[in-house]
Chain A
Amino acid sequence: MTGPVGCRGRLAPGLRAGVIALALCCAPAARAHGLRVSVQAQPDGVAGQAFYSDQTPAAGDRVELYAPPDAAEPIAHQASDAQGRFRFQAAPGRMYRVVVEGEEGHRSEAQIMLAPLPGSTAPGADAAALGAVVRTELAPLREDLAHLETRIRLHDLIGGIGYLVGLVGLYAWWRARRSR
């Protein structure tokens, strides 16, 4: 799906619609209700993954990088790959904002502080290399945490039903008092 959608900017609008429609036919079709994005610091920039609330990757969506976070125009953009992943080269020591926007009105954003790697002032000659390794090794863990954070849990569902029942109870009580 990354192939045709990734280069869709060069296609005529009608053809583009056809390509997207075709891509949708052979890609996960029914999209979940929410788009999510997780962003991690990398040694040379920021990387992350866009995924839907049912934990399927959001492939071929437009990903934009803003710096500073409140900038009006993105400094870079790309399409997420088949696993929903993206990677931007970025200078350390700044705040960044990553915005993912899907075709169907889905949108998600995240901010990240890209701290500089330990420099020559830090003890040990390989501090920067070690910092880079730690960052790379921790990225999957942070991604797992992001997935865990957005997972729909059974107790949320049951709680929601409880709220509904409670609200109906309140409304019925209010109506009963009024009609008395």
Chain B
Amino acid sequence: MHLADGVLTAPVLIGGGVLGAIGVWLGLRQLDDTRLPLAALLGSAFFVAGTIHVPVGVGSVHLILNGLAGLLLGWAVFPAMLVALLLQVVLFGFGGFAVLGVNLLILALPGVIAHYVCRSWLRRTDRTRLIAVGIGSALIGIGGAALLAALALSLSGGRMFAPLIVILMLAHLPVLAVDAAIGTLSLFALARLRPEVLVRTAGAAPTLAGAPRERVDV
């Protein structure tokens, strides 16, 4: 899902950079001390997961985990992913510096959407709900990323949106399956070991610093 340098046109790059920067700014305002270690953990999980390819059948499978990270972090997924993506550019040459903003937007924005869509399902953490949230956040994370990548590519011209989105979705079906499985297992583990993380995700909206809290902790 990393777009390479030299593929996108300047307006798309600049637009992605500006929107990515806004996301990082919003995320940093939410990144309080209690959330910071979790952001680092999910950022490094994303950083490592993308580099490990497990051959399965005809293809190879790797994790992205942007849905899970977004679900638990909210807007704070932007700074976490920014650092992870930056390290992937520097150490492995995935993507590039110019497309960093666009790639950040592609991966982090669906995570934020997963947060706002799925968090209310976490009010009660029974088995079916956790599975639903795990699959739902993977679907939104990977599907949204494929959608945004296809959008960025087609906005840059030369490609048609419809076949591109089909290609990207098909190519990421195995990723989606593994992300959903690992995400669900992580939620099970969290529900058992650190239930307060899920409670915080579900109940207390991560308020912007200075803004009044929308809701009282459950």
Question: Which A residues are closer than 8 A to B by beta carbons?
Answer: 13, 16-17, 20-21, 24-35, 53-54, 56, 101, 103-109, 150, 152, 156-157, 159-161, 163-165, 167-168, 171-172, 175
Instruction: Give Cα distance in the complex from A20 to B8, angstroms.
Output: 22
Binary contact track B47-61/A, C-beta < 8 Å → 1, others 0: 110110100001111
**A56: which B residues are within 8 A, CB to CB?**
60
Q: B62: which A residues are within 8 A, CB to CB?
A: 30, 32-33, 54
CB contacts (< 8 Å) of B172 on chain A: these are: 30
From residue B39, how far is it (CB to closest CB) to chain A in Å?
Answer: 8
Task: Please provide the chain B residues from 160 to 193 with a CB less than 8 Å away from any CB of chain A in the complex.
Answer: 160, 162-164, 166-168, 170-175
Contacting B4 at CB < 8 Å: which of A30, A105, A157?
A: A105
Q: Which residues of A contact B160 (CB under 8 A)?
A: 13, 17
Q: Which of B82-90, B108-116, B124-132 is the interface stretch? A: B82-90
Inter-chain contact B5/A164, CB cutoff 8 Å: no
A54 to B51, CA, bound (A): 8
Given contacts A164-B83, A165-B40, A175-B33, contact A103 B167 (CB under 8 A): yes
Q: Would you call A29 and B51 a contact (CB within 8 A)?
A: no
Quick one: which of B33, B164, B167 has the most chain A CB within 10 A?
B167
A-B contact pairs, 18 of them (CB 8 A): A13-B160, A16-B163, A17-B162, A30-B60, A30-B172, A30-B175, A31-B171, A32-B60, A33-B1, A34-B95, A53-B92, A103-B167, A104-B167, A104-B168, A105-B149, A107-B6, A150-B93, A172-B33
Given A17-B163, A17-B166, A105-B153: A29 touches B171 (CB 8 Å cut-off): yes
Complex CA gap A171/B36 in Å reads: 9
Interface flag for B205 (CB, 8 Å): no
- Closest Cβ of chain A to B136, distance in Å, is 21
Q: Which residues of B contact A21 (CB under 8 A)?
A: 163, 166-167, 170
Known: A107-B5, A167-B83. A160 touches B40 (CB 8 A): no
Interface residues of B (CB under 8 A from A): 1-8, 33, 36-37, 39-40, 43-44, 47-48, 50-51, 53, 58-62, 83-84, 87-88, 91-95, 149, 152-153, 160, 162-164, 166-168, 170-175
In the complex, how many angstroms separate the beta carbon of B147 from the nearest chain A beta carbon? 13
Interchain CB contact under 8 A, A34 and B92: yes
Contact B83 A34 (CB under 8 A): no
A175: chain B residues within 8 A (beta carbon)? 33
Q: Which of A13, A16, A29 contacts B58 (CB 8 A)?
A: A29
Contacts of B152 in A (CB 8 A): 105
Q: A104-B168, A160-B47, A160-B88 are in contact. List 13 more A-B contacts (CB 8 A).
A: A21-B163, A24-B167, A33-B1, A34-B2, A101-B7, A105-B3, A108-B4, A157-B48, A160-B91, A164-B44, A164-B87, A168-B39, A172-B33
Are B60 and A54 touching (Cβ within 8 A)?
yes
Task: Please indicate the chain A residues that have their CB under 8 angstroms from the CB of B47 in the complex.
Answer: 157, 160-161, 164
A33 touches B84 (CB 8 A): no
B8 surroundings in chain A (CB, below 8 A): 105
- State whether B167 touches A32 (Cβ < 8 A): no
Q: Are B40 and A34 in contact (CB under 8 A)?
A: no
Determine whether the beta carbon of B4 is less than 8 Å from that of A34: yes
